[in-house]
Amino acid sequence: MKYRIRLVSTTRYDAAAPRGAHVLRVRPRDDARQRVSGFQLEVEPKSTGISESTDFFGNDTQSLVIEEWHEHFTFRATAEVERIDGVNFTGAQTAPWEQVRDGAWVSQRIDADSPAHFLHPSRIVRPTPEITAYAAQSYAPGRDAFDAARDLMQRIHDDFTYDVDATDVTTAPADAFAARRGVCQDYAHVMIAGLRGLGLPAAYVSGFLRTLPPPGKPRLEGADATHAWVSVWCGDAAGWIDFDPTNAILANESHIIIGMGRDYADVAPETGVIVTSGKQALDVAVDVTPLG
Amino acid sequence: MVELADPAASILTDYAPLDGVYDELMDAAGRPRAHWRPFVDALARLGRAEIARRADGAARRLHEAGVYYRAYDRDADQAWPLSSTPVIIDTADWRAIEAGVIQRARLMEASLADFYGAQRLVSNGDVPAAVVTGSPDFLRPMVGAPPAGGRYLHFYAADLGRAPDGRWWVLADRAQAPSGAGYALGNRIALSRTLPETMHELDVRRLAGFFQTFRESLASRSAPDSAGVCLLTPGPYNETYYEHAYLARYLGFLLIEGEDLSVRDGKVFLRTVAGLKKVDTLLRRLDADFTDPLALNPASQLGAPGLAEAARNGAVCFANALGSGLVESRALMAFWPRLAQRVLGEDLLLPNVATWWCGDPAVRDDVVSRFDDIAIAPSFLGHRNPIFSRGAVSGRDLAPAQRDALLDQMARRGGDFVGQEMVKLSSTPVLNGDHFEPRPFQLRVFLAATEDGWTVMPGGFCRVSSRSDPLAINMQRGGLAADAWVISGAPEGYRSLLPSGASPDLRRSMGALTTRTAENMFWLGRYLERADASLRLVRALAARASERDHDAAAVSEKLVAALQFWGAVPDPEGEEWSAADAAHHAMRANDAYGAPPVLVRRALNAASAIRDQLSPDAWRIIKALDRQLTEGASAPFSETFDRAERSLRELAAFSGYAHENMTRTTGWAILDIGRRVERGLAISRFIGRFGVGDTTPAALEALLELCDSQITYARRYFVTASPAAVADLLIFDDDNPRACAFQAARLRALLDDLPTSARADAAKTFRESIVQLEASMTGSTPDRVDSDFVFKVDQAFLAVAGSFSDLYLADQAAPR
């Protein structure tokens, strides 16, 4: 499936800022699951230069500095992405989850895809006893790793209420869990916290979801902004499998991947340092248009 | 055998080593060890009373030397509690320690190079990946980027303990930003004055050479046209800030904070009053994660955006390199014996505490089976497990509920835990009252990288337990600090830190003044002078509060109006302020931006940010003034006059100390500019309110009093105050330190003490503002002074302040 992606983000500052330094992570990933072409990025005000790089986890970054007084910062990213079908996991048997867990802890791999990076507490996601106990209900002894993860995903979807007003980008998983409310970011963080609490590797994936559903299908939650879901390590044979707890589905060709990391902090579309005293207001618009 | 002298015996009669523990002072037969004998004999000669007296002196000297630490939860500075008794280490023991920690530093360095480089130790199976990835100090942005300067570690420390069999063990590694070397230096200086004869007799090795080597090794990395080596501190709120300030002064490095740095085009610069200076070497006391809000912790306000990228690209050398803290993980202790073989092809000379990492299920099961005889500790720093709120635990000490919780966590996430052998520490004597007691201790030793290896500080920082329990895991925070004396095998020549030749880095570091420091200097000067003016108003008002005379009452009204205009009292809510209430309120107000207590607190805040620049006396005066004003908040009106008077005296004392003791000429000049501008503003405003227009002799007298010029006036004019004569004295007389013209002349003179700015336009504007200020007065005569005239002078002083800020302090606000 081929898409045209458009992301427009504007941050308005109450007080003008003399300078801003930003790191963007908005270019969809090129990997086995998708091909990216024609990526374009415009920023406003004009930057003195955008330097492109790839971070540890293989996500593309654009770093830029603005050297003029400004009251807003806008970036527009566009790209065409071909999402390749059939690469993702389809549901064959994986190993018992304890075996997957023990293998991950003694793994000899330390490349970006290694499960070892995704076992530990990260900036936003720290396992809590409550979330771990909740997740444990899906993990009976000896249960198949894939099966258990799918069950956990379904339970989070069923037990949580999608609510854009309940949380913000800084909400801790523990708070979203206590409220059983939030958006895709919170669903993903809670699921990751549960998995890591059980000693299992789990990663955060940011991306887009096609805006308009195929004919006859319901519109998916999270399509009007950037989306997030969870990649679960299912052992050396199956590797990483992507679960979308917000919609209780496995990620499919509607899911366009931007970045992968330990939690939102690793893949935030924009990280910035600006010198301003006032408040900031963020406005993001996303369009994902299927191309034939 | 040495005959035990009677006095020595009497000093140690009640000294009883702990059971099953190695005692540093006494051997198993209850005799002092040979290398302690001169010390014991010397103490015996001094006698108990003299020992106690000298111990008090040591504590005081430590405080005077500026050796403090600051507890995050407390406001006050804490003096380091120094034991008056050193830990004495003999030559053979020290050689073993030295060889062991040098080997360990080599191992750490080589392992860091692998963990951030080829990562073969992981792919070959020598260390599980999760042991590396679990450290919050494994900084992924630094993978694949060899550090500038060719090494990760420039400074490394190890905590050691001595086992009952007499062998030294490594208890912990410090590689992030090891603290304590400055305190060790402070301890040494204090103790060397307490027991000078004994130190000499014992041939205790000196520390200066170590610091000299360290300084030279870092300074040699710094290019001549750069800002020199800068010590990057998290700032005054950090608990070891005073050590940072102390070390920076001792080593001749510039003490800076993240906001002093700016990264442009991938290079790191220091914002100084003379413009941007390139920075190539940073001695880092800020944890790596906080150095860069863009690439690392976005919540950090202590670093500078772009620093990590600059480090990645080799544009700046961090000592230690970002990510070095990785080797502090307890989990790695389980693997060092094996890694020593793999990396160095050697066995560890100094063993570390036997450690088992529970991420391997088989190892975990074994640890669980020995749960009651073993210590359990978190594998990684940064854990938030409440079970370890006071450090490692022993299974047998846990309450049943905690025990179950811990075993449950170990079953789920074994890799978060290590098992460690329970270590018993050796004991060393501390003075308690007039007798010695054995107390367990740990020794921290420090190593500095040299061009071709490592050098070890011959001494160390000892942490002595406040209790007699020898189990290492029961060592609590607190306790005493002690100096470590290493007995020299051969006498040493004298070495001092003073440079042997002309040392360029020393000169540079005296010259560079950051804009942050300049800004705080400027505002310190302004706030103090503003407080001075405010206090003068209060004093004048308090003195007149009981006068009923018509003219005097009119003056009081004017004084109240001035206090209101100054912001020293809020605008009245209902009725106008009475003279007494206004004066009384101003001295206690915390709700008015121009009240003396508020202004002094602001001055104190500015001063605390530049403590390393102020003499201890100047600092103490501001502290005392602040305390005086805060504590007197409930004083009755009857004390108002005296309180204002006393505060004015303290301010005068500050001026004296600052004048006499401040050596950094640029900083001093900037402080003085702040004071001159503010004093000029106060005088012109006083004249505008009391000296022009419809004035009275009573008002003119008040004006002379506010400007401290009554005596000069009386001597010079022998007449009752006339407006023209007062104006002459307070505006045009450039011999009167409280005249506007005097301030203008000082400002012009101070121009020469300021560094040349790269910004020619702004420099010209500043210079012209001073010319304008002088011109505002020269064109007139005393009899033509009216309110328009003084307003012009007032505005001219403001213009000087504004153009000064634009020139030297504006960097924060201007595009950069």
Residues 6+ apart with CB under 8 A from A111: none
Chain A residues in contact with B119 (beta carbon < 8 A): 110
pLDDT per position as a tens digit, B356-406: 999 999 999 999 999 999 999 999 998 888 899 888 999 889 999 999 999
Chain B residues in contact with A106 (beta carbon < 8 A): 128, 130, 359-360
Six-digit token string for B745: 């002349």
> Mean of the pLDDT values across residues B4-18?
71
Does the pTM of the predicted model rise above 0.80? yes
Question: Is the confidence at residue B551, as pLDDT, over 90?
Answer: no
Q: Is B378 on the interface with A (CB under 8 A)?
A: no
At B503, the pLDDT band (50, 70, 90 cuts) reads very low
Question: Is the confidence at residue B776, as pLDDT, over 80?
Answer: yes
Helices (H) and strands (E) in chain B, counts: 29, 21
Q: Which of B133, B298, B360 sits opposite A116 (nearest CB)?
A: B133
> Mean of the pLDDT values across residues B88-95?
95
Q: How far is CA A32 from CA A83, A85, A88, B578, in A?
A: 9, 10, 10, 82
Strand partners, B304: none
What pLDDT is recorded for position B501?
42
DSSP letter, residue B433: T
Question: Is the confidence at residue B2, as pLDDT, over 60?
Answer: no
**Cα A129 from Cα A148, distance rounded (Å):** 19
Chain B residues in contact with A203 (beta carbon < 8 A): none
Whether B298 sits inside 8 A of A108 (CB atoms) is: no
At B493, the pLDDT band (50, 70, 90 cuts) reads low
> Mean of the pLDDT values across residues B669-686?
94
- Please give the residue that has the higher pLDDT: either B8 or A208: A208
> Mean of the pLDDT values across residues B68-95?
74
Chain B residues in contact with A272 (beta carbon < 8 A): 294
Q: Of B311, B112, B140, B116, which is closest to residue A261 (Cα–Cα)? A: B140
Mutation target among B131, B140, B143 for the A interface, most CBs of A within 10 A: B140
Largest distance between two CA atoms of chain B: 101
- How deeply is B649 buried, as exposed, middle or buried, from its count of CB atoms within 10 A (0-12, 13-18, 19+)? exposed
pLDDT per position as a tens digit, B259-308: 999 998 889 999 988 888 999 999 999 999 999 999 999 888 899 999 99
Are the C-beta atoms of residues B584 and B640 closer than 8 Å to each other? yes
Angle at B782 between CA B780 and CA B787, to 5 degrees: 80
**Cα B521 from Cα B539, distance rounded (Å):** 27
At B68, the pLDDT band (50, 70, 90 cuts) reads low
What pLDDT is recorded for position B250?
87
> Mean of the pLDDT values across residues A113-129?
96
Six-digit token string for B506: 């020393």
- Matching residue, tokens 């001063």: B607
pLDDT above 70 as % of chain B: 91
Whether B133 sits inside 8 A of A126 (CB atoms) is: no
pLDDT per position as a tens digit, A173-188: 999 999 999 999 999 9
Are the C-beta atoms of residues A95 and A200 closer than 8 Å to each other? no
> Mean of the pLDDT values across residues A24-46?
92
Are the C-beta atoms of residues B286 and B177 closer than 8 Å to each other? yes
Strand partners, A281: A12
In angstroms, how far is CA B440 from the centroid of its own chain?
A: 29
Q: Is B306 on the interface with A (CB under 8 A)?
A: yes
What pLDDT is recorded for position B504?
39
pLDDT above 90 as % of chain B: 57
From B421's Cα to the closest Cα of chain A, the distance in A is 23
A41 three-state secondary structure: strand
What pLDDT is recorded for position B442?
95
Q: Which residue does chain A place closest to B358, by CA atoms?
A: A105
At B324, the pLDDT band (50, 70, 90 cuts) reads very high
**Cα B170 from Cα B104, distance rounded (Å):** 9
At B62, the pLDDT band (50, 70, 90 cuts) reads low
Per DSSP bridges, beta strands B480-486 and B87-89 are parallel
Per DSSP bridges, beta strands B267-272 and B355-357 are unpaired
B526 three-state secondary structure: helix
Question: Is the confidence at residue B806, as pLDDT, over 50?
Answer: yes
pLDDT per position as a tens digit, B163-174: 999 999 999 999
Question: Is the confidence at residue B663, as pLDDT, over 70?
Answer: no
> What's chain B's average pLDDT?
88
Q: Using the Cα atoms of residue A153, residue A158, residue A159 and residue A164 in order, give the sign of their dihedral.
A: positive
In chain A the first and final C-alpha atoms are separated, in Å, by 8
CB atoms within 10 A of CB A32: 9
**Cα A71 from Cα A16, distance rounded (Å):** 5
What pLDDT is recorded for position B109?
98
At B476, the pLDDT band (50, 70, 90 cuts) reads low
Six-digit token string for B101: 């920690």
Q: Is A16 on the interface with B (CB under 8 A)?
A: no
- Please give the residue that has the higher pLDDT: either B157 or B432: B157
Residues 6+ apart with CB under 8 A from B94: B458, B486, B487
Question: Is the confidence at residue B785, as pLDDT, over 70?
Answer: yes
What pLDDT is recorded for position B6?
53
Q: How would DSSP label each residue in B615-676? A: -HHHHHHHHHHHHHHHHGGG--GGGHHHHHHHHHHHHHHHHHHHHHH---HHHHHHHHHHHH
Question: Is the confidence at residue A55, as pLDDT, over 80?
Answer: yes
pLDDT per position as a tens digit, B235-245: 888 888 888 98
Whether A104 sits inside 8 A of B816 (CB atoms) is: no
Strand partners, A190: none
Mutation target among A64, A66, A67, A120 for the B interface, most CBs of B within 10 A: A120
**Cα B36 from Cα B44, distance rounded (Å):** 12
> Interface pTM (ipTM) of the complex?
0.94
Q: Is B309 on the interface with A (CB under 8 A)?
A: yes
Six-digit token string for B633: 């908040």
Mutation target among B262, B264, B409, B412 for the A interface, most CBs of A within 10 A: B412
Question: Is the confidence at residue B815, as pLDDT, over 50?
Answer: no
From A18's Cα to the closest Cα of chain B, the distance in A is 5
pLDDT above 90 as % of chain A: 71
Tell me the residues of chain B between 114 and 173 that have a Cβ less than 8 Å away from chain A: 119, 122-125, 128-130, 132-134, 140-141, 143
Are the C-beta atoms of residues B146 and B313 closer than 8 Å to each other? no
> Mean of the pLDDT values across residues B332-345?
97
What pLDDT is recorded for position B252?
87
What pLDDT is recorded for position A170?
86
Q: Which residue does chain B place closest to A18, by CA atoms?
A: B815
CB atoms within 10 A of CB B760: 9
Q: Of A151, A153, A177, which is closest to residue A247 (Cα–Cα)? A: A153
Chain B residues in contact with A265 (beta carbon < 8 A): 298
Mutation target among A63, A108, A118, A126 for the B interface, most CBs of B within 10 A: A108
At B78, the pLDDT band (50, 70, 90 cuts) reads low
> Which residue type sits at B763?
A
Question: Is the confidence at residue A101, as pLDDT, over 90?
Answer: yes
Instruction: Characterize B682-704 residue by residue with b for buried, 16 or more Cβ atoms within 10 angstroms of its Cβ, and e for exposed.
Output: bbbbbbbbbbbeebbebbbbbbb
Question: Is the confidence at residue B61, as pLDDT, over 80?
Answer: no
Strands (E), chain A: 2-17, 20-24, 34-44, 50-54, 60-66, 70-83, 161-162, 181-182, 202-209, 227-233, 240-244, 249-250, 255-261, 270-274, 280-290
